[in-house]
Amino acid sequence: MTTWTNITDASLEPGKPLRSIDLLALRDNPIALSEGSPGAPATASASLADYPWGAEDFQTGTDERDWVLGRTSGAAAGAVGTYAFAQADAGPNSVFGDSISGSRLAPSDVNLNLSGSVSGTWRCMGSTGGGGSGSAGTTLWLRIS
């Protein structure tokens, strides 16, 4: 656990030289605060790592899962974090992980009927299999910005 160090206002006055002990405290105190070290100011929880949820809550808890799913289902079509089955334009082939502008995409269905357009930046979650229009340019996309 990192040690909390009280830093007096007098040691950080303008025009005074910086002391290495104060600089070390400025570096370490945020860590000590998050760890709930003795002498550190009280936080909402003994440790910020446990507030509001700890990693163990996300492994077995249903409240957090329901919270995430509620926000995902409430997102508008095309919002950041949503997916779309779309066809890429005749640009270069996109492979898993590539990012492209939404201006290069058109939402599609499995019969390759296009409808509308999208904005933002999208990450390829499949492959366009050679680019171009048609089935080779259609795959799943995730909006990232």
Residues 6+ apart with CB under 8 A from 9: none
Say if 60 falls within a structural domain: yes
pLDDT at res. 141: 92
Q: List the domain range (segments joined by +) for residue 128.
A: 83-143
Tell me the average confidence (pLDDT) per consecutive run of 10 residues in the chain, 145 residues long: 87 83 89 86 60 58 73 84 87 86 88 86 86 67 93
Cα 99 from Cα 109, distance rounded (Å) = 21
Domain count of the chain?
2
Say if 4 falls within a structural domain: no
Residue 101 sits in the same domain as residue 60: no
Residue 31 sits in the same domain as residue 51: yes
